[in-house]
Structure 1
Amino acid sequence: MGAPGPATRLLPPLVLALAGVARGTFTVVAWPRVAVVAFGGSVTVNCSRSACPGDNATLGLETPLPATPGAGGAPLAKLPAPERVPVEPRPCHLLRPAAVTPRPTPAPASSSTLPERVELEPVPALAVGDSRNLTCHVLEVAPVRNLTVTLRRGAETLRTESFGDAEGSASVAVSHLLTVTRGDHGQDVTCHAELSLRPHGPLFARAAVPVTLSVFALPEPPQLQAPAILEAGTVANASCRITGAFPAGDIRVTAALDQEPLNVTATVAGDTVTASTELSPRSPGPRELSCTAAVATVARTARRQLHVYHLPEIPASGCPGNRTWVRGTREALSCRATGNPAPTVVCGRDGVAVASAEPEPVTRSRAGTYLCNATNALGTRSRRVTVRVECEWHRGRRRGAAGSPSVAAEVTGRPLCPPKMSPRCPRRGVRHGGSGWRGSGGSWSVAPTGTPGPARAVPATVAPATVAPTTAAPTTAGSPRGRVVTRADGGRYVCRATNRHGVAVRSVVVTVEYQPSLGERGCPERRRWLEGTPAELGCAATGNPPPRVTCAKLGDGRDPANATELGGSQDPPQATPNVTRAHAGTYQCRATNAHGSAVRNVTVAVEYGPAGVTLRVLPSANVTRGSGFTVDCGAEGVPAPTYTWALPPAPNLRLAADNRSVTVTGATTANRGVYTCTASNRHGRRAGERRGAGGR
């Protein structure tokens, strides 16, 4: 007998022993010719021979495996297959007389084990361009040389591997290095293991549970847009834009103001995700706005520092509007204001600032009306403060010489410092701001008349009726002294002259006239107009008599002193034109009355919504496959517009930093389509489009 063939390498050959004496030739046959049995199973082997001369030959069966002989010692045995233990083959031998020539038939047997498990290693979410080994494990299979393992992505075969002449039972692993693209997202990876025992046995197949690929892209951090300066208590909009995101619908966007979550509304357009939110900070100070975009295991965050301000406020508790001081004490004209940045407070009277930090002696000259301004970077708030100076109370009467009128020292009901008046006491008087009490109507000293006549000039008392002067410098008839008239001196006065025979009373109305003034409150120096709305450049001036105000644009060849356009108090009023862009510029407003004029320049900025959206394809609208081109978008508008795009979905698009252009590199047919650019500002939006040819 020769050596066993390849099919008999897992189980040792059966050794057939023939004993006896025979003449001639006979054949020994084993059945089945090839036995296939699973590990741990058993197979029945039948051994027979052909006719033997003399019929005196004995047929036997030898094997190193445990065997159960057939009934009556017949050449029939049941052989168990070893459990995953390969056995080296041994040569067969036959015991026979020299005259006998047997023709034995080998009875090879092989054992097999189906794969216990076929498993794919889990694959985490992968970024576009990342590489990852796809590994399939096949556990405990035999014979390994009959195993074929196939890895597939969808219907595409990635790798097929077999194991050649490998012996026995083993666990195997098959790997394939995959570099993922966007097209791999959602694809199933499968692994199939086939154990083929053909032609002597069946074909066994098992598959692993599929693994679904998750592919993402988040190449750029979010683009965060928000105003750098906000006023506390107001509402402003902020947006967060993520470009190149994939899959765009899976992007999670969150926003926070100083780690306090904000409500976010997200929209998706192609591979761009735009999230918007409202900002309404309640307290001033530096704040941090953050926007985070996350997909799979990756997150990118953009941050922006915001400065929340508060316009100045002058509360009544920190700056009382009416104050009464006692002459001879020390007082400070202090005002406390709130705001962020912290405002500075300056108080003044008649355009002259006064010290307000340190207490100073109280004199009659400090009585009056002051204007206190609190100013920071956002603006100014004002508050008027009226100071009254009290004199000491004097009760009783002092008598003069015999026959002379009494010297009045009585209090008329209010602790105000009474002025002294002269005999010239007209019922009505006009005083000009800045002039002395002695001007335009004489001094205000009083000498009473009567019988007996006074021996000398005697001062009289003056009690205020409806409006009293707050700084009354006393004078006497013998030595009148003048002082500067202020607007607070206007009002009704009661003049009382007294001697021992009675009292004379006269009511005097004082009107104070003064030249015009134009201030920020009534005539702001900076205006913003919206195109198409009525052009009204109103400026309110102070002055007595009420001034006439006219405004004209500088540089148009007109004399501002004679202008009557865009505002003022001309009578009858002219029809108001609508605002155009030509109205932008600097205007000079002039307030005039009988005592002079005041001039103030006002700068007008005209705002309008986006207009004239144009798209250009550079360097040329004729695009060939593989070339590059740029679509540039431009528009007019004040404030300057921002730009958004609606683009054909393609991976080779890149937006400029200011979003005004989109660049295509390596043009393909995917770049064909309509490129739409939308320009927006707070007054509206306007879109333009251009059809792209893509690669030809």
Structure 2
Amino acid sequence: FSCRAELDLRPHGLGLFENSSAPRELRTFSLSPDPPRLAAPRLLEVGSERPVSCALDGLFPASEARVYLALGDQNLSPDVTLEGDAFVATATATASAEQEGARQLVCNVTLGGENRETRENVTIYSFPAPLLTLSEPSVSEGQMVTVTCAAGAQALVTLEGVPAAVPGQPAQLKLNATENDDRRSFFCDATLDVDGETLIKNRSAELRVLYAPRLDDSDCPRSWTWPEGPEQTLRCEARGNPEPSVHCARSDGGAVLALGLLGPVTRALSAANDQGEADLWDNPSWTSWPPCEPLQSCFPDGPRFEEPSCPSNWTWVEGSGRLFSCEVDGKPQPSVKCVGSGGATEGVLLPLAPPDPSPRAPRIPRVLAPGIYVCNATNRHGSVAKTVVVSAESPPEMDESTCPSHQTWLEGAEASALACAARGRPSPGVRCSREGIPWPEQQRVSREDAGTYHCVATNAHGTDSRTVTVGVEYRPVVAELAASPPGGVRPGGNFTLTCRAEAWPPAQISWRAPPGALNIGLSSNNSTLSVAGAMGSHGGEYECAATNAHGRHARRITVRVA
């Protein structure tokens, strides 16, 4: 805009004078009253990068909007994309160790001297993966191995299903390495609670156990009976780490017999690796060992654990009446003892099921501590050990503390499920119904929700149930306020006001009368106000109020005395 002025003095013999002001520009802006929309993660790990964005529409001119996007004191220098009267600002938020803790992500938009701002809380946390270490990744059979799982100061670690005592403390497992532990994987989990969310990271490691060769009847039978005449193929395999080589030769030191090829029958076997040597001598040609069933009864041997008869992982179910069964091969029959190793089970004896039912069977425990146990089997030929991980589970159990039999709701409140939970492992699911009808999807509590509900808790080990009575309380409402006689009363006459309220718990009734109104009578529960011999001062507005723990409601009525 500019202003132009003229002064015409030509009628007076002078000229036309003109002048103009400097131009002034009027600028108009439009900025939406709504705050910007922020999209960002609620949690951000130290060292990680996550995209964040800020958007706003209803801007004019959008190209002149200035956007400030920052995480704490860190300016994120966003890239801004315009589309009509809207923009989207995007940036990458990088969390550093110095920012650890609660921070605010700020988006500020300025246009035409006004600004709009949005702030969101972002928690920056540090949670390195757990450290899982083996004292020796490769050991010889019979050596002790220590497995350690550690994480940050606030993280709770779990090693092989057994948690550490407190967050920040490492979990440790010690075992006597056996053949069965070769290629065994150990698993370490770390959990960290951050701003109401549980984060999990894990790590695994494998143990290699070096052990001397094993020749047994399953892979290399001691006794063969072959008919005279045709050649036969000898098959003999050995277990061991490193993998053994198997050498077969005649017992008299004669020719070597090639494995897997046709050849003579009589043999002496030896298997070797760098951990040792094993021998198995056969009988002369075309003969077999004397009849002997089972074979182990003929040849004394040391204790041996087998996974099916003494499992490495066992789950005890409370109330099941079961004991841990650990049967060991060996001649004579080995004795077995399982003792807790570390944590809450340290030194605790694990009751074992007897091989045969007997009246002297161990007492079945009511509570059994889960954890790591080391089972030792011993006879006069030696001793072997095995690590057993015991976990405890239980059927569902509900009582007054977890599922109160009487519960109270408030009419109009946001509807939620019954406060009913159950103890048990695995964690039971709880379903509640009313007369067989499942819990309805609804927004608000109504008086019709009062009644009796049946709640059932279920997990893999059984069910438990509770009957719950639900009462619905509600705010007071003065449903009726009436005068008798209606319409008014003459001086000296009598009148009565009746107030009826609906409420639960029952409401307390109170009255407010006109100033100067005297000699007013009330009933025992204050529901009725009476006046005998009305005067002019009794005329006016009366208020009845009903009050309970959930609120107050009042109504007014006017009485005329004339």
Shorter-chain-normalised TM-score: which range? 0.3 to 0.5
Give the greater-gyration-radius structure (CA): 1
Instruction: Give the alignment's TM-score, normalised by structure 1.
Output: 0.33
